[in-house]
Amino acid sequence: MNKTDHDVIEKEIKPSVKQSDWESPKVGEEHYSTNQIIAAYQAGIAKGVSSAQKLLQEKFVENLEKTAKDTGKLISQLSKFNIKLSRALLKVIAWDQFEVLIILPEKEYLGEKFEKAYIFVGGLEDEVQKDHYSITFCFCPESQYLNMEKVKSDGFTLQHRALQK
């Protein structure tokens, strides 16, 4: 029967470790078997990977919340410019990289006041970008040729609540 890493650590390593073990071993003297060292190494790797995954997951959730807030800022500002929007869709590229597709009526997209939107978006993207967070906004006119199934298949699957239909 093979021993698990946990068994080796609990039954072989921990019982033989004492406060006095903090002195350096003498040349040729072994405190632990090769199997104990390998088991301790594997257990450490498993714990480290688990911790890293947890931190990455927490950062992803934090970044997802940031995308909602930053998209909300854009929606609010465009509303102040009297630009009506249809939808805001999110595409997750990586845990730290996001893209938001803003869909608006073709008339709004082609109108002169929409130029202000590009100026605001450039500043917003620069302002919120951090070492572990990046968001990009892009725009698309809504027309009879816009196929929402293709938009979804391109990865834009989450819709911002402020513009949900």
Classify residue 25 by its DSSP letter. P
Judged by average pLDDT, the poorest of 28-37, 60-69, 129-138 is 28-37
pLDDT exceeds 90 at position 27: no
Helical packing angle, 115-128 and 34-80, nearest 10°: 150
pLDDT for residue 21: 53
What residue type is 38 in one-letter code? Answer: I
What would the pLDDT profile of 58-101 be if each residue is shown by its tens digit? 999 999 999 999 999 999 999 999 999 999 999 999 999 999 99
Domains of the chain (ranges, CATH numbers)? 65-163 (3.30.70.1770)
Assign 18 to helix, strand or coil.
coil
What would the pLDDT profile of 33-63 be if each residue is shown by its tens digit? 677 777 777 777 777 777 788 888 999 999 9
pLDDT exceeds 80 at position 138: yes
CA–CA distances in Å: residue 38 to residues 7, 8, 41, 50, 146: 13, 10, 5, 18, 58
CA–CA distances in Å: residue 157 to residues 125, 140, 152: 21, 15, 5
The residues, any chain, with a CB within 8 Å of residue 114's CB and separated by 6 or more, are: 81, 83, 104, 108, 139
pLDDT for residue 54: 86
